[in-house]
Structure 1
């Protein structure tokens, strides 16, 4: 009885996550209806809260896959509650990605939940656990872009349309970056079980710096241009124009005036 009650508690959705979803819903409504005097503020709050929701779902996917792969300690750590405060590296998982979003308008991946890999048998399971997170970003991107490639955006207010386009851009960038085979990122976690012990030992010291390295490389103009060129190409295939994602980013950074993307309230 006690064990069953404990398991239910370990998997009960956290009020913190529900609060974030509520902020996303209210600010999404404000963006759609033009309730806010400045649409940029509503867009900022909507996109930021939606981005945090996607980060929580990303980490939840890692944890849930690990649970079904053999790590029964996941529940006790609170990872299944979707509470971002329960993450082992809340700074890496939530704070830094939000800062990167505000600074550069990029969906840079965060840290991962702590998984007891010794409890898990089979290289495919280890790879799937690592892939589960970025696959969640892919799913989130599909949801965000669905109204565009289904041709359902004709009557959608411009602020919400632009905000959704920018949110889709964040999910696409997060998925691509997460799948990079760089130590410390999920892409490396996918291939790590298949590497020799010697190679893994040599690359292990780089893991704490992988995220910072990727962010630093993206500041190189040529790399940044090529990367966002690829992202824009993917978004165009999904029905989102470069103008829509650009205006979404412009509205998000409401503290910077940009008359080019001004929309009627």
Structure 2
């Protein structure tokens, strides 16, 4: 379906998103040049603003795919403007994921935009709408890790390498968590259209709690170990050494003492 079904103001990029993008650009430059008096603060602002940008792109991918799938109401809801304040659950979509990055250092899946499912015809379209968000995280991770897997790190300051490594780690964890076939996450949204009506009705009462069950399971040592082993394997595949991700997370927490091995 053509985007002509939405009015131009409904597709105009929000000043809020542009402001966040500007913060990302300025602080990214500060990290690259080590211009800031405190490199850790610059890394914190760069990674946080880039993380919010990726969350906006995640939700935009859902909305844009839904628009082409038949739900023309996403424009009036403000989902196509990339404005994080327009989301149905701003707390789950933006605030909670940012808090988890600060406290736990993992990319937490956010809430989803509200799609009017009845307007979308066809199981493949429903699956693609759910898959679009995690795919945005995958693409963001590929961009962040491009200097690593292209072996193009010559001339890239170590502080910027560390920041990119940590940011890529957040994208990979968010994508992997979101793709789990658990009610409430995008992975379940991908498979749900292909389930029987009876099975969907049985699962439906647990959907509001799936997200929190996954978070609780991450505190189980065996589950936590298996999850981060998978993340480490993916990061190595993308050419990012554990040192880059670790040092990036240490610099990000500028209020803590940075280990000597991560000094730049």
Normalised to the residue count of structure 1, the TM-score between the two structures is: 0.96
SS of residue paired to 2:7: helix
Corresponding residue for residue 83 of structure 1: 83
1:258 has 2:220 as partner: no
1:239 has 2:249 as partner: no
Corresponding residue for residue 122 of structure 1: 122
SS of residue paired to 1:201: helix
SS of residue paired to 1:76: coil
After superposition, the C-alpha distances for 1:216-251 in whole angstroms (9 at most, x for unaligned) are 111122222221111111111111001110101111
2:163–2:248: 8 Å Cα contact kept in structure 1?
Answer: yes
SS of residue paired to 1:73: helix
Q: Give the Cα–Cα distance (whole angstroms) in 1 for the partners of residues 261 and 27 of structure 2.
A: 20
Corresponding residue for residue 111 of structure 1: 111
Q: Give the Cα–Cα distance (whole angstroms) in 2 for the partners of residues 219 and 97 of structure 1.
A: 17
Corresponding residue for residue 164 of structure 1: 164
Q: Give the Cα–Cα distance (whole angstroms) in 2 for the partners of residues 154 and 224 of structure 1.
A: 34
Corresponding residue for residue 57 of structure 1: 57
Q: Give the Cα–Cα distance (whole angstroms) in 2 for the partners of residues 100 and 261 of structure 1.
A: 25
1:127–1:193: 8 Å Cα contact kept in structure 2?
Answer: yes
How many residue pairs end up in the alignment? 261
Corresponding residue for residue 37 of structure 2: 37
Q: Give the Cα–Cα distance (whole angstroms) in 1 for the partners of residues 244 and 205 of structure 2.
A: 41
Change in CA separation of 1:137 and 1:6 when aligned onto 2, cut-off 3 Å = closer
Q: Give the Cα–Cα distance (whole angstroms) in 1 for the partners of residues 6 and 117 of structure 2.
A: 23
Tell which deviates more after alignment, 239-248 or 218-227: 218-227
Q: Give the Cα–Cα distance (whole angstroms) in 2 for the partners of residues 123 and 25 of structure 1.
A: 39
Query: Alpha-carbon deviation of 1:6?
Result: 7.0
1:105–1:249: 8 Å Cα contact kept in structure 2?
Answer: yes
Query: Alpha-carbon deviation of 1:258?
Result: 2.9
Corresponding residue for residue 12 of structure 1: 12
Change in CA separation of 1:64 and 1:6 when aligned onto 2, cut-off 3 Å = closer
Q: CA RMSD in A?
A: 1.3
5+ long unaligned stretches in structure 2:
none
Q: Give the Cα–Cα distance (whole angstroms) in 1 for the partners of residues 170 and 55 of structure 2.
A: 11
Query: Alpha-carbon deviation of 1:201?
Result: 1.3
